[in-house]
Structures are given as C-alpha cells and as structure tokens.
C-alpha cells in the first residue's frame, strides 16, 4: 500500500506550477525568431550575435536561450569565446516557420488568444460559459463571430489549424478506407489542410470545403491554389443553409464546439442529405470511457469551456449522437496521435 512518502510532491508541484512558464519560453523564442535565425545561420551563434540580429537585450536573450537549452529546444557548445547555440532536430522540424510541419502559427494562436481566455478559467468553471466578453470585451453569443472577430484573428486561426493537420491529418484520413467515397464535403473545412490530405490519399475523390463566406474567401486567396481542381468551395452556414448531397461528410474538430442539441441538429441534417450507403467521418480527440484520460482530451475540453459551447466526448457519447441521428455501423479508430476518427454509415 502506498503512502504520501512515496510521492515526490515538491517535484510534481514544481512541474505543474511551471507549465505556463515552459510554454511561454517556447512561444517567446518562436515569436522573436530565434529558431528561424539559427536555421538560416551557417553554424552555432553566440547569445550576443543572436540578440543583435533580433534586436533584443543581450542579458534577456542569454537567459531565454539557456532556458531553451534546458527544455531541449536548443543545443549549446562551449568555446573559448563563450556559449554558442544551435537548433535541435525537434526545433528545426516544428518551431521554424519554413518547415512543412511547422507549428509556429498554432503556438502563436495559443500565446495570443487561448492564453487570454485561460486567464478566466475560474470564471468559466463557475459560469459554465466561454470567456470572450471578459478576455476581449465582445459578445460571446455568436461563437464564430467572436472567434473570427477580425480578419487578422481569423487568418491566425486558419494557419494554426493547417499546422495541426500537417502532423495529424494523414492519420485520421487513413484511419478508414475512404476510397469508395468520391464526393466529399468537409463541413467547416476552414483553410483546407485536411482536404489536401484527403485528395492526396484518395486521388479519385473531390472535396468541397463548406464554410462561412469570409473563411472561404481567405482560403481561396491564401491556402488552396487555384489549379487544385479537386478542391472546391461552398459558402454558407451549415446550421442555417442547405447541405448538398454527398457520399461522405467530414466533421473535423466541429462537434466539440457545440452542445448536444446543436450536434444532434447538424447530424440529423447531414443524415438527411447523405446518399444511401454514404457516411460521416468525425475527427475529434476522444476521452477514455472511464474519463481517466488522455490528458490532451481533458485539457482540450477545458479549452472548449473557455472558448465555445461544447466539450470533448467519449467514443460512446459520439456513437450515441450518431445513432440518434440515424447512422449505423459506427466504427471507432484510435490513431495514437492527437486526433481520432469515428465513421458512421447511412
């Protein structure tokens, strides 16, 4: 039988208490361009050289770089002239803007937006409501009106979402054999990162991104090249406007934004529009049935609390929603990555 003596409370609490500091160190180094500079340099650089090129104080930069070394984001080698810093493989792959798997935009969205909402987590738990009014002084009645409160904020969100699909998209699209579905609608497809993965894996398919008009316009201008004819667009609000007939509908990180009544409304509407034999693919971070984890899903559920009307759910909770909407043959696939997949057939 274990006792409190078996637990290293100081170390555990230190790690939890400093989680915010750890993430802000990484975000700050990204924002200042530390990893991009070191990628472009011909070799390791001193803290003074980095500070001079990035326009920061020498003392502040040295401390930031040392903390990045402690976090394994940078390597350091000591020479007679002092310490010289270089990127690790991890930072080259995920923290530089030019990498195809860069998470820079995702991290900036967390740093500049999600963290501001999380300052009011206590209020969110008390109220059971998102915190846009407290964080940004705007109404939270229209969730995506608040989320896309400016074009700059919307573009930041779109870049961040594409960054996620660059590392998780292929896994969820490949979780089931979707080759039989040639006409696909990606509802809330945003910047098209998941649509790109879909046509790459299933070259005989076409994907229509169904999203709000302002999202579609930016996706066309910035994210989806005009020569890519297998991806098309449909402007609208899928809660209010008709949903065209298709073989497969993708709902990726969509249902977790909404309470059960809205989820049921949307799924029933999709079921009615879906071709016989067609289906719906849900892409979400699934909670364990006993709610013991995974931690990522538990944390995301709190993000949903401070930013949306929804929450993360278990496989059985999603299956219940799909069944109630009329879908059958429901299959669940855990990918082992950040997002999982559920397929329901009509």
**Helix, strand, coil percent content, the chain, rounded in steps of 5:** 50, 15, 30
Location of structure tokens 């989680």: 19
Peptide bond into 300 cis (omega under 30): no
Name the catalytic one among 105, 234, 256, 271: 256
What 292-296 contacts at long range (C-beta under 8 Å, 24+ apart), as own/partner pairs, is 296/338
Interatomic CA distance for residues 305 and 9, integer angstroms: 29
Q: Tell me the sheet residues that pair with 79.
A: 82
Residue whose token pair is 């998470």: 103
**256 carries an active-site annotation:** yes
Q: In the chain, what is the greatest distance between 2 CA atoms, to the nearest angstrom?
A: 73
Task: Locate 199 and state its tokens.
Answer: 């046509």
- Residues in Cβ contact with 115 at an 8 Å cutoff, skipping those fewer than 6 apart: none
Q: Determine contact, residues 117/306, Cβ cutoff 8 Å.
A: yes
Residue whose C-alpha is closest to residue 137's, from 151, 149, 125: 149
15-33 b/e (C-beta count within 10 Å ≥ 16 → b): eeeeeeeeeebbbbbbebb
Query: How far is it, in rounded angstroms, from Cα 38 to Cα 64?
Result: 14
Residue 280's DSSP bridge partners are: 249, 344
Give yes or no for a contact between 58 and 47, defined as CB atoms under 8 angstroms apart. yes
Q: Is the dihedral of CA 252, 147, 143, 313 positive or negative?
A: positive
Which of the residues are catalytic? 256
């Amino acid at each position: 039988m274990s006792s409190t003596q078996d637990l290293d409370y100081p170390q555990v609490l230190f790690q939890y208490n400093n989680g915010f500091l750890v993430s802000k160190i990484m975000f700050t180094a990204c924002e200042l361009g530390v990893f991009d500079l070191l990628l472009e340099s011909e070799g390791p650089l001193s803290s003074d050289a980095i500070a001079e090129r990035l326009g920061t104080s020498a003392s502040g930069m040295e401390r930031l770089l040392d903390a990045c070394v402690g976090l394994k984001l940078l390597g350091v080698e000591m020479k007679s002239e002092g310490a010289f810093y270089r990127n690790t493989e991890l930072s080259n792959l995920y923290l530089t803007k030019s990498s195809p798997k860069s998470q820079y935009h995702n991290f900036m969205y967390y740093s500049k937006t999600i963290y501001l909402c999380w300052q009011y987590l206590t209020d969110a738990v008390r109220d059971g409501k998102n915190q846009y009014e407290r964080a940004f002084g705007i109404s939270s009645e229209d969730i995506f009106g608040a989320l896309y409160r400016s074009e700059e904020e919307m573009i930041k969100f779109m870049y961040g979402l594409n960054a996620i699909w660059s590392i998780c998209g292929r896994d969820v699209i490949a979780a089931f054999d979707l080759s039989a579905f040639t006409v696909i609608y990606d509802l809330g497809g945003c910047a098209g990162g998941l649509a790109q993965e879909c046509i790459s894996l299933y070259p005989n398919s076409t994907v229509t991104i169904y999203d709000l008009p302002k999202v579609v316009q930016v996706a066309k201008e910035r994210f989806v090249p005009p020569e890519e004819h297998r991806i098309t667009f449909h402007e609208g609000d899928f809660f209010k406007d008709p949903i065209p007939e298709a073989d497969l509908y993708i709902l990726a990180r969509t249902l977790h934004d909404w309470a059960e009544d809205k989820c049921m409304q949307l799924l029933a509407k999709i079921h009615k529009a879906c071709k016989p034999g067609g289906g719906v693919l849900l892409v979400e971070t699934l909670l364990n049935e006993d709610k013991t984890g995974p931690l990522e899903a538990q944390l995301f559920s709190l993000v949903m609390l401070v930013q949306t009307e929804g929450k993360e759910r278990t496989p059985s909770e999603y299956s219940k929603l799909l069944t109630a909407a009329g879908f059958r043959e429901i299959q669940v696939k855990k990918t082992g990555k950040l997002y999982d997949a559920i397929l329901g057939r009509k």
